[in-house]
Structure 1
């Protein structure tokens, strides 16, 4: 399987709402092993993410490109899983960035 992963970073807000997909990091391709490591710790995200579509304006997304419900992993649980598999300077930089976020920050796994 060849999966690509975009991480959508939640920014603190005053009220529960959809997570705007403005703060994203394209992690790139992931191995089946890393994908499998993410599944047990991912939490469903029923409110989805909101992103801007050039033709339709703001859109709400509840599923990934494969039809699976979107989910998130708290930053504290995501970092060790990514670190174990990060090889390129880009991947290592993403791990460092997420490591500096508050541990409870929701990081949406947007598989495509």
Structure 2
């Protein structure tokens, strides 16, 4: 087991990761909302289809807000980690990765 310290988060990588992470449940909820609105159309209520559009917009807004909050967290972490200390992770590498990361020694 090796200890690795996370000294700083890349802000764009945090935003992209959280955006993708929240897009998966948002996509599932969008599909469910779409089929619910289709059942209203089948039953003759045209107004039900208009529920679908604001719901999709709110799901996108929801993912973007979470992305921005994660960037805010990363900014706070980047500011205070040098003073307080960085996060420590214990990582175990398999034997193949350990060998490939060792520096090569020149033989004379």
TM > 0.5: no
TM-score normalized with structure 2 length:
0.26
TM-score normalized with structure 1 length:
0.25
Higher RCO (CA 8 Å, separation ≥ 6 residues)? 2
- Structure that is richer in helix per residue: 2
